[in-house]
Amino acid sequence: MEPNILLESLIDEAGVSRAGLACHVNRAGRARGLDLRYEHTAVARWIKGQRPRGQVPDLICDVLGARLRRPLTLDDIGMGPPGGNTVVHGSPLTGFVERASALWRFDEQRRAQVVGAPAVTGTTAVMPVWEWENPPEDADVSRPGPARVGPADIVMLRAARDHYEQMYRKAGGMATRSRVVGFLNAETAPLLRGGYSDLMGRQLHRAAGGLVAVAGICAYDSDAHGLAQRYFHQALRLAKASGDRGLGGYVIALLVNQSLFLAEYRRSVAFAEAALRAACTRITPALAADLYAMQAKAYAHLGDGANARTCIRRAESEAGRIHPCREPDETGYVQPGLVEVQVAEALLALGDLRGAREHAATAARAPAHDRGQVHRLAMLTRTELAQGEADRAARTASDMAERARGMESRRLRDRLRSVREQLAASGCAEAEEAVGLIDGALRVPL
């Protein structure tokens, strides 16, 4: 049996104890002429995945729905028929919203079964991308409700996405995650459960998708890879509901980046191909450049130099077409130098030390926010060490360590540790000071 996190989340949201729910279900049953004698142990079994018989699931919907002041279906409480997708309120997304908000609630509470979940592989990892790319589309995402969603709500969600993205860039995912997840619970979930037309609903799902993607980025930066993957899958579903193929392509780029980190190189190539194919004309030059650059890294790690270099040429061509004023907010991360640092990593994997060094140096000279600059300086340090310039690498690493100080990010810590090990092994005169600076940056508690 799979744990019923939907039911557990609704019980928690309703503010009722397990014994209390059992008592309310017994009372509701008596009103229907049923003699029920459930106790808290029965509710514990339901949460573990057991489905009670007869009318009891309907009674649970009634009891929890009354406390939450909104109607609940069997799918909402995790007791619908296997593979079922009950359509209520005119939208097939209702069950998805309840499942998504359950995840947000448990993440905010730091539930171990959610935060510590491993990343899925195989068909389970691929299916959300396949479902995004293929029919059916959402014909109507409208939903009736007493609290009507309006343009001001969309503006608020977009502003929040920008705010938390900037916070992530400055402070790291560890510091930002609790804040963006708290916002999803307090502000985004009630809006998704509100009332809206089809047009307003598509704008709402797009804005919510951008926020959920930032939550996934923060989870990825915190080493919670299973959780990050679930957020990315949620964002992809919201992107499909919005009808914005470009947003979906951006979310897939996040999945490609995570797959690269997890050394799932063939999946990285396939996901990038799906984004480029399905989003087609909705892919902007910035996003296309990043997707091709990540493909190049994946091919390089697979030892396929020909395809890697083809993707490098395509990435550089797309980068030359970028007009920042024509790009959506989400692709703002594709700043000058990003493609160069990605290409440097691909060339380093291919053994082209000179080319890697040239691209890494170009990337480091380009303006970027502090987080991006740390990654670029780390790559430049690696290429300088690979070319035997240990003293120069030590100076570059010192600059990197100073910029990284105060950021709460496991991905940056991975970079710092990797550079530290290589510097310590070089034995150059200036390495000791650089290693000390890196150790200072690493002592920041996470």
**How many whole angstroms separate alpha carbon 170 and alpha carbon 332?**
15
Tokens of 212: 């959920």
The answer to whether the CB of 115 falls within 8 A of the CB of 224 is yes
Cα dist from 205 to 157, 330, 409, 427, whole Å: 10, 15, 28, 54
Cα dist from 317 to 86, 99, 305, 365, whole Å: 47, 41, 18, 20
Which of 243, 258, 321 lies closest to 294, judged by CA? Answer: 258
Helices and strands, number each (H, E), in the chain: 22, 0
């609903």: which residue's tokens?
201
The top-level CATH class assigned to 244-365 is: mainly alpha
The answer to whether the CB of 184 falls within 8 A of the CB of 210 is no
Structure confidence at residue 91 (pLDDT): 44
Please state the domain extents for the chain: 5-82, 90-242, 244-365, 369-446
Structure confidence at residue 90 (pLDDT): 35
Structure confidence at residue 73 (pLDDT): 87
Tokens of 427: 């034995």
Which of 8, 191, 216 lies closest to 106, judged by CA? Answer: 8
The answer to whether the CB of 374 falls within 8 A of the CB of 407 is yes
Tokens of 244: 């914005």
The answer to whether the CB of 397 falls within 8 A of the CB of 375 is no
Asked whether the CA dihedral 141, 142, 148, 150 is positive or negative, the reply is: positive
Tokens of 217: 């980025």
Structure confidence at residue 5 (pLDDT): 84
Reading the chain (446 residues) residue by residue, the pLDDT tens digits are 677 888 988 998 899 999 999 999 999 999 999 999 999 999 999 999 999 999 999 999 999 999 998 888 888 898 987 654 433 333 468 788 888 999 999 999 998 888 999 999 999 999 999 999 999 999 999 998 778 999 999 999 999 999 999 999 999 999 999 999 999 999 999 999 999 999 999 999 999 999 999 999 999 999 999 999 999 999 999 999 999 999 999 999 999 999 999 999 999 999 999 999 998 888 999 999 999 999 999 999 999 999 999 999 999 999 999 999 999 999 999 999 999 999 999 999 999 999 999 999 999 999 998 899 999 999 999 999 999 999 999 999 999 999 998 888 999 999 999 999 999 998 888 888 999 999 998 886 54
Would the pTM of this model clear 0.85, i.e. be above it? yes
